[in-house]
Amino acid sequence: MSLQKLNFAIFGNIYQADKSAGIQQVLHSLKERMAGVSMEKTFYDFLVKTRGLCLDGVSVFDGNYENADFVISMGGDGTLLRSAYCVGDRCTPIIGVNMGRLGFLAGVSVEEIDEVLDNIYKEEYIVDCLAMVQVETTRGDGTETQECALNEIAVLKRDNASMISIRTSINGEYIVTYHADGLIISTPTGSTAYSLSNGGPIIVPHTGTLCITPVAPHSLTVRPIVMSDNAVITLEVESRSHNFLVAADGRSTKCDESQVLTIRRSPYDAHIVKPQSMTYFSTLRKKMMWGADTRKG
């Protein structure tokens, strides 16, 4: 029985030059299945001009892909986060091929790609729908900008500036003013990323929550707080430098004190293809050594 025709859009990390053998393996697996393959321009140019690969039959897109049934993210978790942002509200399922170190989100190894593709063609695969978070920035003139993130929205001081003051309200009710180097609003997915490194809790996916974690708070009485993800969080920031940074999964934008931030769950999720054997807690144990006993003897 012939395989159905599927189209794949590939995003990749240009800083992993030593992993081109893995990239060739993935492309070979797609070619064997007569798949349509397109690749983002920067990654395509890198592979052709820098690595000297022959990519016959691969089309190129710049920014937005077209007609893809699946997206393949080739890199680490950072590449997958960028892929999720580029996919946006199209909600195309993403296959995260781990070419980096940790690979907490990008859970498919190069050695597993054939098995994953076989399952996709047999329609025997799992898609994990992960909540995203969005930030709306309102300027004094009423204009708005919007960014979405799979892991977190972070509000941070700039460079070596003094700590910032972040007046925080939830659903219109004033909660507290954080005096800190920053504030992280994370999804359950992002709870094991920047938030965790600042003392935030690990939150299991699909719990319908957001977490606010301060970065280096001035007061020891300030602790992370978890709330329902139908909450609307409003932030007003004061800084001695009169400006600060807003980072959505590391994509940072400079803002000034006149700008009010509104943070809530995104209206769309990220759709991540998972190997059937991979569960959240097995990934915690394997990738983060969660629960490991490091005592000797």
User: What residues are annotated to the active site?
Assistant: 77
Which tokens belong to 150? 């799979």
Dist. CA 115–CA 119, nearest whole Å: 6
The 3-state DSSP class for residue 32 equals helix
Strand order in the sheet with 251-256: 225-228, 209-215, 182-186, 152-156, 243-248, 251-256
Dist. CA 224–CA 211, nearest whole Å: 7
Strand 243-248 relative to strand 152-156, pairing: antiparallel
> Any idea which residue has 């998972």 for tokens?
274
Dist. CA 99–CA 48, nearest whole Å: 18
Q: Across-strand partners of 182?
A: 156, 215
CB atoms near residue 73 (< 10 Å) = 30
> What are the residues whose beta carbons fall under 8 Å from the beta carbon of 224, sequence distance 6 or more?
195, 199, 200, 201, 211, 212, 213, 214
Which tokens belong to 151? 């892991």
Dist. CA 133–CA 292, nearest whole Å: 31
> What are the residues whose beta carbons fall under 8 Å from the beta carbon of 250, sequence distance 6 or more?
78, 81
Dist. CA 151–CA 187, nearest whole Å: 6
